[in-house]
Structure 1
Amino acid sequence: MKNGAAATHPPETEKRGRKASKETRRLQLIEATIDSLAKRGYSETTMADVADGAGLSRGIVNFHFESKEKLLVATLQHMAEEYAAHWKGALAKAGPEPSARLAALVAADFDRAICSRRKLAAWCAFWGEARSRPTYQALCGSRDEMYQETVVELCSALVEAGDYPLDPRQTALALDAMLEGLWLRLMMRGDDLTRDKAHAAASTMLTTLFPRHFPRTSS
């Protein structure tokens, strides 16, 4: 009886292996979707493109996501969660000082893991569609709100500590807009901008806003 029961129910390790395989396959399809968005744009990306990019059948894509819309929502959610985990991880390593934490946030935006041309292009594809798609607005908006409030808190702490004549919320909004603008410039690559140059430009802005906390360094 024990042998029969063992044959009927797969071992726990096998169950975990199947689950890991399913999660791995989903991630494979999501990465292929990012590649297609970067290469073809939003409207030209198809389930067939994603299947080909992942080296899988169209049936596998349909099994995991059922429709192009569900695949794209899953891709955007994955990117939003990845981005949030990245900047939160940077904060966790930065320590308690507001200046170090703000510098870490800025640097995180230009890390290769997040700031690659393919991912920037995929973000832009979603941003272009977000205006007419409430689901995209919700996913992008929750990320932006959490990030923005964190920057506001850090700017508030710096303004108070340095007695700067700045409004923390307006300053945080300007910083966020600057970072998004640098992302767009990096994606275009029209002026040969690099991640290092973009990071240096953002750091210069911190020096301009909070000179006592971010002293100007000699070049």
Structure 2
Amino acid sequence: MGVTAPARAQRQNTKAIRRQELIEATIDQLAKRGFEGTTLADVATAAGMSRGIVNFHFDTKEKLLVETLRTLSDEYRGHWKAALKAAGADPAARLWALVSADFDKRICTPRKLGAWCAFWGEAKSRPTYRELCSANDEDYQATVIELCRDLAAPGQDHAALARVIVCMLEGLWLHLMMAPKDLKREQALASARYHLVSVFPRRFTVDGPIAAEGTP
């Protein structure tokens, strides 16, 4: 007798849940132990599963790590794109939403920052990691450049401004990971917003974007 459709769906759902649990455990271990220190045995223990179950879902540590990075990357991309969509058409509101999204408590957590930094450290020598990181980075940077072009005053180099904003955000993430006692997520968010005010004073205050003249 063949497997019924409901039973097949249940099996697939259970498999997806187990894979996600292993990915979450991998994020935890990367943040705790670093890239080289993370082993499949550590992940299995953290997830409360046997090593055999880990091997069933992911043949090798590398496959598990690639899927973990893909999950982080997809989550990050989906998050900032959703923030842009919710912000509407005004470029100031969109840039404010984009910058703020980087410090949302769903994205900017110690464990996820730790995992990201572990992957960043390996991306230079691992083409697959570099490709996964670069695809998101290029899309993000192109979006920031476009918004800065719309907001820049005559004479301002919008591409240079965009590069500074992206580097500022990456630097705050790194500071949050390296010195969490010195900088909290809320402080990092406030600093990032203040930077927007200093760069585009006619379009931002510390409380948010200012509507363009003629905008209702």
TM range (shorter): over 0.9
Shift, 1:215, TM fit:
2.9
- The reply to whether residue 14 of structure 1 matches residue 7 of structure 2 is yes
Partner SS state of residue 42, structure 1: helix
Distance 1:216 1:32, change over 3 A: closer
Q: Between Structure 1 and Structure 2, whose CA radius of gyration is higher?
A: 1
| CA distance in 2: counterparts of 1:21 and 1:110, whole angstroms | 32
2:103 aligned with 1:113, yes or no?
A: no
**What code does the residue aligned with 1:63 have?**
F
Matches within 5 A, 1:133-212: 133-159=126-152, 163-189=153-179, 192-212=182-202
How big is each residue's C-alpha offset from its partner over 1:9-57, in whole Å with a ceiling of 9 and x where there is no partner?
A: 3332221111111111110000000000011000010000000000001
Moved more, 191-200 or 128-137: 191-200
CA contact (8 A) 1:164 1:210 kept: no
Provide the aligned length of Structure 1 versus Structure 2: 207
Instruction: Give the aligned partner of residue 117 of structure 2.
Output: 124
Tell me, yes or no, if the aligned pair for 1:155 and 1:171 is still in contact at 8 Å.
yes
Structure 1: give runs of 5+ residues left out of the alignment. 1-7
Q: Which amino acid aligns with 2:203?
A: H
Kindly tell me: are residues 35 and 216 of structure 1, through their superposed partners in 2, closer, same or farther at Cα, counting changes over 3 Å?
closer
* Aligned residue identity for 1:194: K
The 3-state SS of whatever aligns with 1:10 is: coil
- Decide which moves more: 96-105 or 187-196: 187-196
1:92 is the counterpart of 2:105: no
Residue 45 (str. 1) matches residue 38 (str. 2): yes
Residue in 1 that maps onto 2:210: none
> Is the 2:124–2:130 contact (alpha carbons within 8 Å) kept by the matching residues of 1?
yes
TM-score in terms of structure 1 length: 0.91
The separation in 1 between residues aligned to 2:205 and 2:67, in whole angstroms, is 42
Identity between Structure 1 and Structure 2 (%): 56
Is 1:29–1:51's contact at 8 Å kept on the other side of the alignment?
Answer: yes
Aligned equivalents of 2:180, 2:140: Cα separation in 1: 28
Paired residue secondary structure (1:43): helix
How far apart are the structure 1 equivalents of 2:6 and 2:147? 45
Change (3 A) 1:22 1:168: same
Q: CA RMSD in A?
A: 1.2
